[in-house]
Chain A
Amino acid sequence: MFSLESKVASVLKKHPYNISFRIRDNIVFLEGEVESHSEWVEIGLSVGRIKGVEGVVNKIRWKGSGREVEKEEWRRRVFEEKRSTVVGEYDVVIIGGGVVGAALARELSKYELKVALIEKSTDIAAGTTKANNGMIHAGVEPPRGTLKRRLNVKGNAMYGRLAEELGFRFNRVGSLWLITPRTLAAYRKYLPGPLYSLVLKHVLPLVVKIKGLINGVRGIRVLKGSRIFELEPFATRDAVAAVFIPSTGVVDPYEVAVALAENAEANGVEIHLATEAVGFIKENDAVKGVVTNKGVFLCRYVVNSAGLYADEVAALAGAEEYTIHPRKGVLLVFHRDTGVFTRHCLAEIILPQDPYTKGGGINPTVHGNVLWGPTAVEVPDKEDTSVSREEIELVLNKYSPIIPGFPSDRLIRFFAGVRAATFTEDFVIRPAKWVRNLLHVAGIQSPGLAASPAIAEYALEKLREMGLRLRPKAGFNPRRRPMVAAASMSLEELDEKTRMNPAWGRIVCTCEFVSEAEVLEAVRRGAKTLDAVKRRTRAGMGECQGSFCTLEIALILSRETGLPLNQLLKEEGRLFNGHVRGEHV
């Protein structure tokens, strides 16, 4: 048997750099200097793949990398200012209000516990969650031996009930993976003559089906010929076979996260937005309080579900066990009228997978839009959500062959999100090794949204193992009143509602048919920014992309919050930044 030390050493030897390392409790700390960011990623991944490594803290510098001195300075200053202002005392403080933090908050709200969820942004789901494609994966893809695999299939199965309880939209549309002559083109030379089509038609689909079965995915079917096009009439006629996975679903990711958070709040969880952890008050090997820009949250347990910033939060707590390497995904949004072209989550199997587009596909949404993507590009900056023309072209070229007749000129928006991947490329849900009362819920990459209900249950179990006492709350109400949309009402319903409340009849976003009443309801439920209103109501998500309604929404927000127009926020930045006429300069 080789020791972990010798395995790491031998992996590092393959890279042409002098990288030093140390290992503590199966966590590998790397130091050294390399040329480029991509080498930084590559070395981290090669160490992360070693069996037995539970985390990679990658302190290797690359040319152009730098410490975020300003941020560290700011944290120190805020820490000193706020360390003696107590906000409250809690059993559990959750750091990070993405879908995972929100799901855990809701899970904890089932018990007699005082819980606070803190989120640095101005809204729930404002990080990685909001830029997700909304797919609820069935669970065919995660490799054996991963936590992702265990929690994906389970999480998927939980969605039906969750959607019903929380009143968010969930369509179990199923996915269809097409096999075409392109699928194994890279291996053509090994599969001469009729062997190629035999493998394509019969062997590969079966392999995929068996992989799914092993992972516990039920109902997978292999389709051939016209059966494919009965299910998906616009799919490329190149498809010789397809694997149909019925349990795949789609949701609106921020609707899910907001619903979870609202229900958690209704059941007693405190949600603190614009609240950012800057440090921890510790006693020996335990956290006593989370220091934030709002003051100290004293706590018995801390959960780190800070997504892209989980590594920084862990480091602040003395629990640095992993480094996040941000991986950007670009998504294209097509107009609602393209929804007729896609019934399922549609993808073409191409082997080997293109590292920049793996995992992507063509997805319907619960609103009728169609999404293409995402890409998968390692980026140095956690907040690099930029999209270039080249990236748009890449996605268009990759997916156009799957639906040849798709009107790709109906592209109305593009955006990018950044995944919070660790170098072990699996979920990290475990007690911190060197901090007694901190639970990591980190490295939640795809299929994190699908797995999130199961992640919450699993994390709860971990907290119980760490000593958290769970007494069920008698008054827990699992149900949330859903947001009602004028767009999904019959005219009779809308008429009736309008007669009781005229705001229902004032349409502020004509592209998506959103009424003033919906905006008011979003504000009443806690939306304070333009984007928070947009995510809850869809105002601004249509063809004109907000050029008509932005100002209308801003006026309502201003009226309802009492903030003047030039102090409103889009998400974190000022929506309008200039002076007011008369209040000169």
Chain B
Amino acid sequence: MKDVAVVGGGPSGLAAAVRLAEKGFDVAVIEVMGELGGMLEQCIHDGFGTKVFGETLSGPEFAERFVKKAYSLGIQVFLNTYVKQVKAGGRVKEIVAVSPSGVQRLETRAIVYAIGCRERNGFEIRLGGTRPAGVYTAGMVQRLVNLYGVLPGRRILIMGGGDVGMIVARHLQLEGAESILIVFPEAGFAGLPRNVQQCVLDFGIPFKPRTVVKRVIGKERVEGVVLTRVDEKWNPIEGTEEFYACDTVILALGLVPYTGELKLGVRIDPATRGPEVNEFFETSVEGVFAVGNLVQVFDYVDDAVETACIAARGVEKYLNGGLKTSPVRLAPSGKVRMIVPQRVEWVDEENVVAFLRPAVEKSNARIELRSSGGKVLERFFRRYVRPSTLERIEVSRSVFSGQREVETDIADG
């Protein structure tokens, strides 16, 4: 029997596994692909590791540090192995996994899920028109170009002004795409400011804000799209339709926690679309933890890795019989779109690390934690908050004592 089974060998899973192995636990990592590293393997641009390592690395370099560490600590790694079933009801949990060597059963005392996120596809936004060859999600394109050296097409339209869309645009520009246009319904790019500068502006890649694809045109292969302008509420403005010729439509529509692959009835938070977790990233099923982009999609891998490190402490407490009290709900409200963790319940001394996504753009903002009676329990000053940047706060334990629910909000500074 293992102490801990980590499902998912990307950066968050590896970080959790490494931390736990360093604490002396017997850890296994189960990865469905043929190698460790997860999505970072295809992210050959730089900008990873500024918080964790204090330097800026490419995705594979960042992953490599954890991969090496994992192997040097003797963590057992199952590659090409897919978790088919999980029984997590009791203290001893059972994982049934399928791999080229057969169906295996693994008993473990705790499970850390780190299976990341998936891309939103065209059907989720009800992208109209036909469904020819030439429509891809951005991550698939990244993988195709970076790992296999093949370009998806020549004339590119990218839907979505988030980080992934911008990074893919820069990449295709460097690889010699004939034309690129980025469109998005917001007034400005939704991704990190550094990416707007480094990926789009520096390369002079054209973009159209307040613009969406009304329909895809093409029978065998994409022949173009019909673009339409939208108003502030993203409603199409009549008379603004125009044809744009392209052979490729890349969907950079954002990422969603990949909860479809969780084989247990954990509670899902509709705001994050990931599992609800406590301050040690334990799901609603005892001894089952969820970390990284599975919990909510992070802007920086460094933050995702931090959740894994926090969870590792939680696993340690769980395995050592740590104590819980009655849970305090941590809830978003008003100007906060979502917050993780959703509850605080362990008996512990250390501050609670929380990540929240503002629903508003505001300078000189105060992130406030309030009791259900409206009393401000703690506040954090920020020069500038915006929806595209996730905020990390460290909340004193004392804030939660005696409360049943703590609300977060953003007020003027």
**Residues on A facing B (Cβ under 8 Å):** 383, 385-389, 392, 411-415, 486, 491-492, 494-495, 498-499, 502-507, 510-511, 513, 515, 542-548, 550-551, 555, 565-566, 569-582, 584-585
Contacts and interface: CB of A to CB of B under 8 A. Distances in A.
A273 B191 CA distance: 46
Given A498-B101, A573-B132, A580 B123 contact: no
Given A386-B130, A571-B133, A582-B149, A577 B248 contact: yes
Interface of B: 32, 80, 82, 84-85, 96, 98-103, 118-119, 121-123, 126, 128-134, 136-137, 139-140, 143-145, 148-154, 175-177, 215, 218-221, 247-248, 258, 260-261
Given A543-B260, A551-B143, A576 B149 contact: no
A547 B215 contact: no
B118 A580 contact: no
A581 B150 contact: yes
Contact of B82 (A386, A499, A510, A570): A510
A339 to B, nearest CB: 15
Given A389-B128, A412-B123, A547-B139, A577 B221 contact: yes
A579 B176 contact: yes
A503 B260 contact: no
Which 3 pairs between the two chains have the least Cβ-Cβ distance?
A: A578-B151, A573-B220, A573-B221
Contact of B129 (A387, A498, A544, A584): A387
Contacts of B96: 491
Contacts of B176: 579, 584-585
Contact of A551 (B80, B144, B177, B258): B144
A507 B103 CA distance: 12
B154 A577 contact: yes
Contacts of B118: 543-544, 547-548
A212 B247 CA distance: 50
Given A505-B102, A551-B144, A577-B247, A385 B153 contact: no
B100 A505 contact: yes
B121 A498 contact: no
A498 B123 contact: no
Nearest to A543: B260
Contact of B150 (A507, A570, A576): A576
A578 B32 contact: no
Nearest to A550: B140
Contact of B151 (A388, A503, A576): A576
A221 B384 CA distance: 68
B131 to A, nearest CB: 7
A486 B98 CA distance: 10
Contact of A547 (B100, B137, B154): B137
Nearest to A390: B128
A499 B103 CA distance: 9
A388 to B, nearest CB: 5
Nearest to B132: A573
Contact of A507 (B32, B102, B144, B258): B32
Contact of B153 (A545, A570, A576): A576
Given A385-B131, A544-B119, A571 B99 contact: no
A510 B134 contact: no
A415 B131 contact: yes
A585 B84 CA distance: 44
A392 B126 contact: yes
A350 B258 CA distance: 40
Given A570-B132, A576-B152, A498 B220 contact: no
Given A498-B100, A547-B140, A566 B220 contact: no
Contacts of B248: 577-578
A578 B177 contact: yes
Contacts of A411: 123
